[in-house]
A = this chain, B = another copy of it.
Amino acid sequence: MPLNPARFLSDLHSLRQFGKDGHGVRRRAFTPEDLAARDWLAERITAAGLEPHFDPAGNLFGLAPGTSLLLGSHSDTQPEGGWLDGALGVIAALEVARASVEGGGPPISIVSFQDEEGRFGALTGSSIWSGKLDLDQADSLTDADGLSFAKARETLGARAGAFVDPARFSGFLELHIEQGPTLDQSGEAIGVVTGIVGSRQLQVTVEGQQNHAGTTPMALRRDAFTMVTRFATALEQAFANVVTPQTVWTIGQLQLHPNAPSIVPGRAVFTLQWRDVESDRLERMDQFINDVLNTVAAESGCNVTVERLRQMLEPVPMDHRMQDALSEAAEKIAPDRWRSMPSGALHDASNVAGLMPVGMLFVPSINGVSHTFDEDTAEDDLVLGLRVLADGAERASRALSR
């Protein structure tokens, strides 16, 4: 497959111009910048010898005839987005599909999903296409300013056609920046994703007793914040035997009441979120959390109430044939410079996995940052990612047709 890295990088920088702001990009779903970018992409799709096709949700496909492998990601961004986030996976897909047409490779279609970054929902376009979200339900979603998805997608006008039948695709591959520090810190160039982690989240309310910080002896206090610190410490110890190096948990939000220097906190409300690629482990962690909460609350003289904030997100394992195809490609093109790893962030691939075999590749994020103007990846790594994606797509096409 005669890849053209210069053409790939040129297209990537062309897409960057739509909504460019300094080093980063502002290209929210259905803004003029987003629609202009999609129109530009549709032209590039045509030029590549594929058929451009918008569906009613704003997802833009570049269709190869017959049954094909689907490659892609999304081209919308966060309000203050990086230039590579979903764009890399879309333009890499374009180059692989184009090179395959030119070189007589396997049939490859591409896609840029709409509103992955959640202006209206979360992974909105791929949720609708994969049947997880009805278009009617989606239409009633609103952005932060109250604009509905229904109103927003009217801007598609005559572009919008029918939904593309997923059955025409044999599988899906997504190249994406890691959005974390693992590859950047290890010096490796490629991550073959084993699965997209599931997550659970609780909101815990600790009720102690509000007291004067001068007149209340330590022994008579029921300090809600002290309870939280003891819980966090005890949880770390309790988790030691259940977690892997890839398991994560976070207390990211905390509010003390009344939150004054001279008052023993009477109440603390905090969130605890944990993520792993295995459902069993998420469940065992849930039990440890409950045990530790109850033990520490009793020791601290506090009451705790627990509220589940979000629907649980179950882990999504990547297809083994796809992992094998990508691993073989990585070992050929970047020998000893790749690893298998989970994805800690959500991706459109999570939704598509309900429809067909799915695989994902990561390239490093410099300093591990994403969803900021500073987001970046070394040019060599972008090209290496393109090459592994192309080689992996050829291997996947063969594996899936067996």
Using a CB–CB cutoff of 8 Å, the interface residues on chain A facing chain B are 178-182, 185, 197, 199, 201, 211-220, 223, 225-226, 228-230, 232-233, 243, 245-256, 259-265, 271, 273, 275, 309, 343-346, 368, 370-371
Contacts and interface: CB of A to CB of B under 8 A. Distances in A.
28 contacts: A180-B212, A181-B211, A181-B217, A181-B220, A197-B214, A212-B344, A212-B371, A213-B248, A213-B273, A213-B275, A214-B275, A214-B346, A215-B343, A215-B345, A215-B368, A215-B370, A217-B246, A218-B248, A223-B250, A226-B232, A228-B229, A229-B229, A233-B233, A250-B263, A251-B265, A253-B261, A254-B254, A261-B309
A214 B226 contact: no
Given A229-B233, A250-B261, A252-B261, 20 more contacts: A178-B215, A180-B215, A181-B211, A182-B220, A212-B371, A213-B248, A214-B345, A215-B370, A217-B246, A217-B248, A218-B243, A218-B245, A218-B248, A225-B232, A225-B252, A252-B263, A252-B264, A253-B259, A253-B260, A261-B273
Nearest to A228: B229
B246 A254 contact: no
From A179, A251, A264, name the one whose CB has the most chain B CB atoms within 10 angstroms: A251
Nearest to A249: B218
A344 B214 contact: yes
Nearest to A259: B253
Q: How many copies does the complex hold?
A: 2
Contacts of A228: 229
Contacts of A225: 232, 251-252, 254
A239 to B, nearest CB: 9
From A179, A211, A263, name the one whose CB has the most chain B CB atoms within 10 angstroms: A211
B345 A212 contact: yes
Contacts of A214: 180, 197, 199, 248, 275, 344-346
B250 A264 contact: yes
Contacts of A245: 217-219
Contacts of A211: 180-181, 368
Among all A-B residue pairs, the 8 with the closest Cβ atoms: A180-B215, A214-B344, A215-B344, A261-B271, A213-B250, A229-B232, A229-B229, A252-B261
A355 B248 CA distance: 61
B261 A201 contact: yes
A265 to B, nearest CB: 6
A196 to B, nearest CB: 9
A179 B216 CA distance: 9
Contacts of A246: 217
Contacts of A262: 250, 252, 273
Contacts of A250: 213, 223, 261-264
Nearest to A272: B261
A377 to B, nearest CB: 14
Contacts of A232: 225-226, 229
From A201, A228, A262, name the one whose CB has the most chain B CB atoms within 10 angstroms: A262
A237 to B, nearest CB: 11
A58 B394 CA distance: 90
A116 to B, nearest CB: 15
A400 B5 CA distance: 96
A216 B252 contact: no
B263 A259 contact: no
A368 B233 contact: no
A217 B254 contact: no
A225 B229 CA distance: 9
Contact of A260 (B182, B252, B264): B252
Contact of A256 (B249, B254, B346): B254
